[in-house]
A and B are shown apart, each in its own frame.
Chain A
Amino acid sequence: MNPLELARAEPGPAFTVTLDGREIEALPGQTVAAALWTAGVTSWRSTRGEGRPRGIFCGIGVCFDCLVTVNDRPNQRACLLPLRPGDAIRTQEGTGRHE
């Protein structure tokens, strides 16, 4: 059993986005975080101070741990932002502003 089966989901056709240039599949309606979790990725940012890996923590937009760069815009909350076909996700180091 997986969550899609449990909810008897019949999603629209999957589309492709990229994570640091690598192609991954996303389903319509999924947030950046949901697609990354599906692809087995749980961390996509390193912290400013100690360079430690981070991903989802609160899942609802409160904690800002899930920050990520999408289509060259840094500091987007992956748990809130829905994906669109062709979106380019980039893992973010520190402030994400040096890029």
Chain B
Amino acid sequence: MSEPRLAVIGAGPAGLAATLAAAARGVHVTLVDSAAEAGGQFYRQPAPGLGARRPQALHHQWRTWERLRDGLRTHVRAGAVRHLTDHHVWFVERPDTGGFTVHALVGPGQEEAAEVRADAVLLATGGYEKVLPFPGWTLPGVVTAGGAQAMLKGGLVLPGRTAVVAGTGPLLLPVATGLAAAGARVAALVDSADPASFLRRSRALAGRPDKVAEGARYAGQLLRHRVRTLLRHTVVEALGTERLEAVTIAALDRDGRVRPDTRRRLDCDTLAVSHGMLPHTDLADALGCRLDGTDVHVDAEQRTDVPGLWAAGETTGIGGSALSLAEGHIAGRSIAARLAGRTPDPHEWTAAARTREKLRSFFAAVDSGYALPAHRAEQVTDETVVCRCEEVSAGAVREAVRELGAGDLRTVKLLTRAGMGWCQGRVCGPGVAEVAGCAETPGRRPFARPVPLGVLARAGETAGPARAAAPEEPQDDAHRDQ
């Protein structure tokens, strides 16, 4: 019998850890990733053409990366792992003949199609940032915090000279220190979190002294670069006409309302902003996986409820790179055992499971500490664009709720076109929910990427009858009127 085949989608910490664990146990792995280099978001590498001799200057935990990178190289050289770069997966199919077919678009232009057959699939597609709307957030110069970090790590560029880093969440720390180290003046780190809420959670936080030390290291770096940290503050407005010129910040009171008397202007040409992260769940959703809220549901072995399909890392819930590594490792070992027809013994991964438990509860505590101000939506004026692609204003969303009785995201979308543009609601979903005052639900998208119609037609011919539901509408049509 030939070697069992695994397709891992995503070459971030989770996908890499799983690839190494499975390949070391005799599984043939095809690692599929849209980026030109392995590493994912945390270990994003500068393009080789840039000739960076000290990329680690932009990174944390470089030693871990070296281990992952060298392990991957060794397996690729030995023929145990095939690494497909620049492959954008738009759909994973379960043909009636069994196994999986992974459909990807190849190259930066994403025009050619490629298919990978596998006996098992691991989804390790990570997450992306959530940014909620506020006046001026569409001005050039306003970027997501992770986006600024990605451009810095991957392209060795800065968006401007003077930055404000704002929003809420643990990602603001590496971004502020990263920008400062690379030569930007960071005028302030503005976080709406209340320091008191962290004190109340100190027990859970103390469970991970290494993480607390990491926080202290960041604090030291902020001090060294003279970055002011303003807690319980928020950016009320981004100012400028053609591009960002300044932001208005203000303090929040105990109830999370802006204190008007504290408003002040900070000049800056860059605002790096983030209100948390969301998991990528499109591929899982299209396969019919159960989701818990916004996260792909997995069991103790990282299995989804679709047979043969595993998920690890931030697709299953946001929790940082160390948690992604632990989950990936467990998934890789579980897959190797299951593909060999064995029930794995969880004792094989006791250490990783312990890390997973601790980090999950650590992040649950951190997450609740970083809660958004209760009255944030009050800052979103009627004129504020909430859906960036379709340019739908907060006023239009409010009208749909108030005058037309829309009570859920789907109805708001149908009435206003919010979420119908290029990004398919990935960016505006949380903001529309906030303004409309309805629950944030994961968007249902037939495909994870826009697909040219020609590719779609040919995929149907080669892949045989599909078990997954046929798409309702070709994505290309939805995008053509852009």
Contacts and interface: CB of A to CB of B under 8 A. Distances in A.
Chain A complexes with chain B:
yes
A31 interface: yes
Interface string A32-46: 011001100011000
Contacts of B156: 3-4, 6-7, 9, 34
Contacts of B53: 7-10
Interface in B437-482: 479, 481-482
Size category of the binding interface on chain B? 35 or more
B157 to A, nearest CB: 5
Contact of A27 (B49, B138, B388): B49
B426 A63 contact: yes
Contacts of A56: 140, 143, 147, 151, 159
Among A57, A61, A95, residue most surrounded by chain B Cβ atoms (within 10 Å): A57
Contacts of A61: 34
B448 to A, nearest CB: 11
A37 B49 contact: no
B267 interface: no
Given A6-B182, A59-B148, A75-B482, A31 B155 contact: yes
B155 A30 contact: yes
Nearest to A30: B155
A23 to B, nearest CB: 19
B423 interface: yes
Contact of B482 (A8, A42, A63, A95): A95
Contact of B183 (A3, A34, A65): A3
Among A3, A9, A49, A60, residue most surrounded by chain B Cβ atoms (within 10 Å): A3
A53 B140 contact: yes
Interface string B136-166: 0011111110111111101111111000000
Nearest to B160: A42
Interface in A1-37: 1-12, 27-31, 33-34, 37
Contacts of A4: 50, 156
Given A8-B57, A9-B46, A42-B243, A3 B147 contact: no
B372 interface: no
B307 interface: no
B36 interface: yes
Contact of A47 (B34, B54, B391): B391
A89 to B, nearest CB: 14
A82 B36 contact: yes
A68 to B, nearest CB: 13
Nearest to B426: A62
Nearest to A40: B160
A59 B147 contact: yes
B109 interface: yes
Contact of B49 (A8, A11, A79): A11
A99 interface: no
A30 B152 CA distance: 11
A57 B144 contact: yes
Contacts of A67: 422, 482
Given A58-B129, A59-B148, A62-B128, A7 B49 contact: no
Contacts of B141: 42, 55
Nearest to B159: A37
Contacts of B49: 11-12, 27-30
Contacts of B371: none
Given A53-B242, A59-B143, A7 B426 contact: no
A9 B152 CA distance: 13
A73 B452 CA distance: 14
Contacts of B204: none
B317 interface: no
B41 A60 contact: yes
Nearest to B128: A62
Contacts of B57: 6-8
A7 B58 contact: yes
Interface string B113-144: 00000000000000011010000001111111
Given A42-B159, A62-B426, A12 B391 contact: no
Contact of A58 (B36, B182, B427): B427
A9 B51 CA distance: 5
B52 interface: yes
Interface of A: 1-12, 27-31, 33-34, 37-38, 42-43, 47-50, 52-65, 67, 73, 75-76, 79-82, 95
Interface of B: 34, 36, 41, 46-55, 57-58, 108-109, 128-129, 131, 138-144, 146-152, 154-160, 181-183, 242-243, 388-391, 421-423, 426-427, 479, 481-482
Given A1-B182, A52-B138, A56-B140, 14 more contacts: A1-B181, A3-B183, A7-B156, A8-B54, A8-B57, A9-B46, A9-B53, A42-B160, A42-B243, A49-B391, A53-B242, A56-B147, A60-B41, A73-B109
10 contacts: A7-B57, A8-B52, A12-B51, A29-B49, A30-B47, A30-B155, A57-B131, A62-B128, A75-B479, A95-B481
When A and B form their complex, which 4 residue pairs have the shortest distance between CB atoms, in order from nearest? Answer: A29-B47, A59-B147, A29-B49, A28-B49
